[in-house]
Structure 1
Amino acid sequence: MRIKTNEYFTIFYEGVRGEAKLLTNEPSLPRTRKPPSRFVDSLPTSLSYESIYDLYHDEYFEIINNILNSLDSRFKQSIFPLLCKVEQFILSTANGTQDCDDAINIIDIDEFLTDDINVDRLNLELMMLPDYFSSINKEKKLGLKKITKISTVCELLNAQQLGKTMFYEYCKLITLYLTVPVTTATAERSFSVLNRIKTYLRCTMSQQRLNHVIIPHIHKDKLDLLDLNSVCSDFISKNENRKTFFGAV
């Protein structure tokens, strides 16, 4: 990895030092602290550096190693290889290439299908799936030559209500794949939002209202895409009293 080389650190160090000249004083080595005499034998010996370059050199590589270890622990989980196989299986069956030598077959993802998918029915659905997607592609004039995204598969299945009914087990497989919590980022984000939403002044807020407030706050990017005029029109049109009060839509 290029950033874990001494040459890269030297370039990085000199660049930062050059930009910092106008902002702060020249860096200096921290004063070496001596531990109390009664702790001399129990505490590790403190490192001493000959130059500020050596100090930042060790700190730089320590930070890089910590970042890489954190990424490895987050993304090299046991579920990841299985999810990759499931994704390849969904795409290969959608393209009708599951008979290739290097294609993932249903046996490879048997662990993912346990107790949730009717394998026999799924096999029957997979035989009809490529022809169905091909007909939808021609009918809607989508111009798809090869399906490379799960979102494209979902769009083809949602093109007609018949698709979800005919390929029920296949849709269930995609639903399971899309709902597997690969990371805990969403849950952690919810707890962070909780401190901002349920403040001391809102301590009597009910659980139902709290849920209704937190969900739009977390997914505000999707909420911004909504057309408020159409939402208001839909709200008014569902009640005669609202139509009388707000006027006809």
Structure 2
Amino acid sequence: TEKLSRIIQNSGCCLQDVLSSVESLIRYFERIRDDINFKSFYTKLLKESESLTDKPILARHRRPPKRYQSNSDSVEFSSCEEFYRQQYMESLEIAVNMLQNRFTQKNFKLLCNVEKFILYAGKNSLDDSNDYFQSIMDFCYGDIDVEKLKVEALMIVDFFQSVIKTNQMNIKQITKISTNCEIFNSCEVGLQQQNVHLVR
């Protein structure tokens, strides 16, 4: 989770990097959510803590007063390991659910499509039937001037190649949004072009 946090906060990060990292972390959490991985984790933790603290002791089970009792029976654990196993499994489940809720929202996927469109437009000529173009039109309808975007999307490859050559930029391939931004920001026309599609 610390590595994911660093990736997300990196200024050079793009949405695809975030999505890929989140999906990897979710798969990892799901993979280690079993008895074998818990046992390994628990054994290692006990060994490392031997010189630091006492052995874990299972807290005495206390029954709440009858007025607070619900119909469901409270869980009693037979050992510390069993108690911590439940904590381990529950923590991983909560982490997976929170990541899925945050990063699998409908808008997040749509934003990834916008990013893919921008990257694709920087390397290829586009036409109306292109999937990326269609997703942009669906997502940004009313927010952009679609007709201007269509015209300029056809020229963007040539524009990028011209700017790279003129400014002697050492860019061989465009794979990140930050590269597109660098090209746009390197000349006045690029800076103006970033704002031209906004509906006034």
Q: TM-score, normalised by structure 1?
A: 0.62
Deviation >4 Å, runs of 4+: none
Preserved CA contact (<8 Å) 2:125 2:154 = no
| CA distance 1:55–1:95, change in 2 (3 Å) | same
Cα deviations across residues 8-32 of structure 1 (Å, max 9, x unaligned)? 1111101110111111111111111
> Could you say which residue in structure 1 is the equivalent of 2:191?
164
Q: Distance in 2 between matches of 1:123 and 1:87?
A: 16
User: Mapping of 1:98-117 within 5 angstroms?
Assistant: 98=126, 104-117=131-144
Gaps of 5+ in 1: 174-249
Gaps of 5+ in 2: 1-29
The one-letter code of the counterpart of 2:112 is C
- How many residues matched? 169
Q: Distance in 1 between matches of 2:116 and 2:92?
A: 32
| CA distance 1:130–1:39, change in 2 (3 Å) | closer
Cα deviations across residues 179-207 of structure 1 (Å, max 9, x unaligned)? xxxxxxxxxxxxxxxxxxxxxxxxxxxxx
Aligned counterpart in structure 1 of residue 176 of structure 2, from 137, 143, 149: 149
Preserved CA contact (<8 Å) 1:125 1:167 = no
Q: CA RMSD in A?
A: 2.2
Aligned counterpart in structure 2 of residue 6 of structure 1, from 31, 35, 45: 35
2:88 is equivalent to residue 60 of structure 1: yes
> Could you say which residue in structure 2 is the equivalent of 1:123?
150
Cα deviations across residues 180-239 of structure 1 (Å, max 9, x unaligned)? xxxxxxxxxxxxxxxxxxxxxxxxxxxxxxxxxxxxxxxxxxxxxxxxxxxxxxxxxxxx
CA-CA distance at 1:154 after TM superposition: 1.3
CA-CA distance at 1:129 after TM superposition: 1.2
Q: Distance in 1 between matches of 2:34 and 2:186?
A: 52
For CA contacts below 8 A with separation 6 or more, give which structure has more relative contact order: 2
SS of residue paired to 2:161: helix
Q: Distance in 1 between matches of 2:79 and 2:100?
A: 32
| CA distance 1:50–1:158, change in 2 (3 Å) | same
Q: TM-score, normalised by structure 2?
A: 0.76
SS of residue paired to 2:131: coil
Aligned counterpart in structure 1 of residue 45 of structure 2, from 16, 22, 26: 16
Q: Distance in 2 between matches of 1:97 and 1:111?
A: 20
Q: Distance in 2 between matches of 1:165 and 1:44?
A: 65
Q: Which structure has the greater CA radius of gyration? A: 1
